Structure 1
Amino acid sequence: MAGAASAAGHGSKLNLLNFAEQKIKMLHLTWFAFFLTFVIWFAHAPLLVHIKEALALTDAQIRALLILNVALTIPARIVVGILVDKYGPRIMYSVLLFISALLCIGFAFANTYDALALFRFLLGFVGAGFVVGIRLVGEWFPHHQVGTAEGIYGGWGNFGSAAAAMTLPTIALMFGGENGWRYAIASVGVVSAIYSLIFYKFARNTPKGSTYFKPKKTGAMVVTSWGALWTLILMNIPMHLALGMLAWRLSPAGVELFSQTAMYGIWIALVALFIFQTQQTWKVNAEHLREGVPEHDKYSFKQVGILNIAYFATFGSELAVVSMLPLYFLETFEGMSAVKAGLLASAFAFMNLVSRPMGGWFSDKFGRRKSMVILIGGLAAGYFLMGLMDSHWWIPLAVLAVMACSFFVQAGEGAVFAIVPLIKRSMTGQIAGMAGAYGNVGAVVYLTVLSYVDYSTFFYVIAASALVGLVAVMFLDDPKGHIVEVAEDGTVHKINVG
């Protein structure tokens, strides 16, 4: 029997210090690659004051940079998901880290706002790195450990944004001078370029003797029923709408990065892209659906759709809340300094180190569906509680409420990706890519809502959308028995998933 289940060991506990075990080496190698992508992705955030001063930027231009930073991530996660299933995570992570390093250095030494904006837009690509590691970790760990391993990968990697905030201002000061911020950001690019070579040398797609399964067709996600095909086409729509929303926020209606005519041009391009994507999806799937899909080859696309909705509410809300929380604390609690507000708000992101692994472990230990129901329910209650917060609250209690909510949010993310590798091994990258993209769609939707409502209503809206997610996850199926993959030589392999 091939696959990670047969070669990754049978112990239920993970000893993260046991470097003699190959899968533990792979986990550390992979989470650090993800960590670096997040440092690159958010390297600009703690240095925005210096960037603004150096290039004499307006507040609107700074806001445009923040929007541009996430714009490319939605399509990039879909494309990288397809490529990682086809070429394998070892090559894809190495290439992604190297290209991102060049873009990071380009951003560091940009001398005009146009160049700065272009590099920031292109750097949204680095946010797709997450998808690559999900496939790699899924290959190396058996079903009873995969949730915990994916949680460690996601949680420790996500911490890269907090690490950037904590270290880069100091590194900029160490370099000194008016270009200190440039050298600090460029140094991250240099580290990423070096690590891309290290990753290529030491990473392996699968344990020795295991087969790396690839999809039979590429260009779009392969589904195994007509209902799934129509659902897939429908689920592509919100991603294009989110990109359209971003274009609107960059137009004169928002931060005025480009004209209304340019916005209409982007909208027309997005409609054309959707039509092309739909044609590709039909072309990839129609023939084998007409012929009939063998029973052993079928998988439930319902699982994918439900996880997309769950990640919309979990990661989508995390991205949105992390970006507004410092300002929320500053404006809600009178007399609070900007430094203290930033420090208290960082508690939300800091929880990632523990929460995501806990969500994955919880899923491994107590069941996939049950874990998702509890965690999404807790998330809804947490955001409802945050909606009740006001200036009369005792600050330590407010921080406690934020951290409790944060635990459920990030543990929910860990539980989502505890299931992703157990649906269809050969398409784990694409499934992870779509779920990941839905997380970004969630962030765009929530931040758009925030631009129209007060803070309390914003939290209530997230809580209400999480209740929709709660209803959806009640229809999840616990992965059981085996999933079947057919190798290129035609041999049938069973992979244990529960």
Structure 2
Amino acid sequence: MMTENFNPLNKLNIFSTKGIQMRTFHITWITFFFCFFGWFGVAPLMPLIREQLHLSKDQIGNIIIASVSATIVARLIIGKLCDTLGPRLSYTILLAVGAIPVMCIGLSNSYESFLLFRFVIGIIGASFVITQFHTSMMFAPSVVGTANAVTGGWGNLGGGVTNLVMPLIAAGFAGLGLVSHADSWRLAMVVPGVILLIMAVIYYKYTKDTPQGNFSDLHKTAKKEKKGTFLLAMKDYRTWILALAYAACFGIEITVDNVAATFFMDRFGTTMIVAGALASIFGGMNIFARALGGYVSDKVGKSYGLKGKGLLLGGMLVLEGIGITLFAQSQSLGMAIACMLLFALFLKMANGSTYGIVPFINKDAIGSVSGIVGAGGNLGAMLVGFLFKSASLTYADAFHYIGIGVLVIGIIVFITKFHIRQTAETNILQPALQEA
């Protein structure tokens, strides 16, 4: 009779659902997918919302900033909660609470009320921290970068799918006569909210915090080992460099998720459905690109250690920055799509590469490190959001300046010394190096 494996897996078989590790793996990325769906569900509907609520460019810019601002604080809090309550309860609470503003945003009848709902919905973005933490608990050092990248990438795919699906859902409700075309976005947003509530129940019932059991079952040990995790994370300069790197990749990703559909409509005169489909191409790259970044990071780590992982990340960011500047200068729709695919590849690989390093900073503070780095991504999105609200800058101008900024950050990361310290993280990195 076979017994269940209570240790982190040292092999990732994405087609397997056996064992608590793989069951958690699949439930985690699916949950994160729907979190992205709820977080950015209104993004492809903004042209419709803009017309009905009479929003100015400045107001839309504020809405873009609001959509990622609450996530900054939420990710810091959630990171700490993961180290204490555990990922299972943390995710369940976040899903239940986050579903409320997603379903209620349709009640907005003014710029102010819409801005408030869009701000609160941003807490759902903290789901990423739990996703990465939970995956890190389930997989061994030799494959944790790949596992984190796959769950993160397939979850981020929700940001692309929502650009394609939400306009169709809204159009479907209007076509059935359930609501007018102008109000179709309101009813459409109920769909992702209900799904989040369903996932809250599934996550609570069918996952565990670790292969050994839930934190509540390991309360005494967990309490002793998890004390002061946030301070440990903050004191390591590598945490902040990774936060800066994540601002330059994931921060730009969610910005593009927010503005891509509007950009294609305004610059090239496409319809809302076509613009949403084009924007979905960007998000669709997550089906493989982020996972590829994590996989390459793991391979480089086995041969060149943490230093090699850092050099790889810096190189990805430099290439991303170059791609964004080319995208900004595109004069035709075809060229814009080609350049978007180029920078999307390196951006999403950089996402995966960043979280291929995070678990090795401090094994006793994985949640806190993950939270700070994740918050850095949203801080980056919030800051570049000011470029898109500027009356003196076009969206193309904003992308041009973003490309330059990402290039500079890539150089900073490239010259940063990521090395193995003779501390707690050595215990989890060394086995991976020995396997090479």
Q: Which TM-score tier does this pair reach, normalised by the shorter chain?
A: 0.7 to 0.9
Indicate how the Cα distance of structure 1 residues 200 and 47 shifts in structure 2: closer, same or farther if over 3 A, else same. same
Distance 1:192 1:329, change over 3 A: closer
Q: Determine if the alignment matches structure 1 residue 117 to structure 2 residue 107.
A: no
Asked if the contact 2:88/2:204 (under 8 Å) is kept, the reply is yes
Give the drift of 1:482. 7.6
Aligned partner of 1:223 in structure 2 is 232
Question: Which residue of structure 2 aligns with residue 88 of structure 1?
Answer: 86
State the alpha-carbon separation in 2 of the partners of residues 391 and 222 from structure 1: 43
Conserved 8 A contact 2:293-2:349: yes
RMSD over equivalenced CA pairs, Å: 3.1
Q: 1:433 to 1:323 in 2, by over 3 A?
A: same
One-letter amino acid matched to 2:384: Y
* 1:468 partnered with 2:409: yes
Q: Give the structure-2-normalised TM-score.
A: 0.82
Q: Mapping of 1:48-447 within 5 angstroms?
A: 48-52=46-50, 56-59=53-56, 61-111=59-109, 113-175=111-173, 176-178=178-180, 179-208=183-212, 213=222, 216-217=226-227, 221-223=230-232, 229=235, 301-326=236-261, 328-329=263-264, 340-367=274-301, 368-388=306-326, 395-447=333-385
Cα gap change, 1:415/1:461 in structure 2, threshold over 3 Å: closer, same or farther? same
Cα shift readout 1:298-323 (whole Å, capped 9, x = no counterpart): xxx13212211211211122233444
- 2:290, 2:350 within 8 Å by CA — same for their partners in 1? yes
Distance (whole Å) between structure 2 residues aligned to residue 124 and residue 94 of structure 1: 16
1:136–1:205 contact (8 Å) kept in structure 2: yes
Judge conservation of contact 1:304–1:431 (CA < 8 Å) in 2: yes
Q: Over alpha carbons, which structure has the higher Rg?
A: 1
Tell me the secondary structure at the aligned position of residue 41 of structure 2: coil
Q: Secondary structure at the match of 1:433?
A: helix
Which 5+ residue runs of structure 2 have no aligned equivalent? none
State the alpha-carbon separation in 2 of the partners of residues 392 and 190 from structure 1: 40
In structure 2, what is the equivalent of residue 38 of structure 1?
A: 36
Using the alignment, how far apart are the partners of 1:123 and 1:10 within structure 2?
36
| Rounded Cα–Cα distance in structure 1 between residues aligned with 2:327 and 2:118 | 34
- Alignment identity in percent? 31
Q: CA deviation digits over 1:440-487, x for unaligned, max 9? A: 2212233334535563574355334433333334334355888379xx
Which range moves more in the overlay, 415-424 or 456-465?
Answer: 456-465
Q: Is the 8 A contact 2:145 2:353 kept in 1?
A: yes
Structure 1 residues 362-406: Cα deviation after superposition (integer angstroms, max 9, x where no partner) = 111122543442343243234335424677766544422321211
Letter in 1 for 2:85: Y
Instruction: Please report how far the alpha carbon of residue 439 of structure 1 lies from its aligned counterpart in structure 2 after TM superposition.
Output: 1.0
Deviation at 1:125, TM superposition (A): 1.0
In the alignment, the residues of structure 2 paired with residue 104 and residue 429 of structure 1 have an alpha-carbon distance, to the nearest angstrom, of 26
Structure 2 distance, partners of 1:18, 1:148, is 15
In structure 1, how many angstroms separate the alpha carbons of the residues matched to 2:405 and 2:59?
A: 33
Aligned length: 407
Residue 43 of structure 1 aligns to a residue whose secondary structure is coil
Amino acid at match of 2:55: T
- What is the letter of the counterpart of residue 298 of structure 2? D
> Cα distance 1:417–1:378, how it changes in 2: closer, same or farther (>3 A)?
closer
CA spacing shift, 1:476–1:169, aligned 2, 3 Å: same
1:337 Cα deviation (Å)? Answer: 5.8
CA distance in 2 between counterparts of 1:46 and 1:184 reads 12
Partner Cα distance (2:414, 2:327) in 1: 28
Aligned amino acid, residue 42 of structure 1: F
1:185 to partner: Cα distance: 1.1
Q: Partners in 1 of 2:62 and 2:374 — Cα distance? A: 23
**TM-score using structure 1 length:** 0.73
Against the structure 1 CA distance between its residues 349 and 476, is the aligned structure 2 distance closer, same or farther, given a 3 Å change threshold? farther
Q: Aligned in 2, Cα 1:139/1:386: closer, same or farther, shift over 3 Å?
A: closer
Letter aligned with residue 415 of structure 1: S
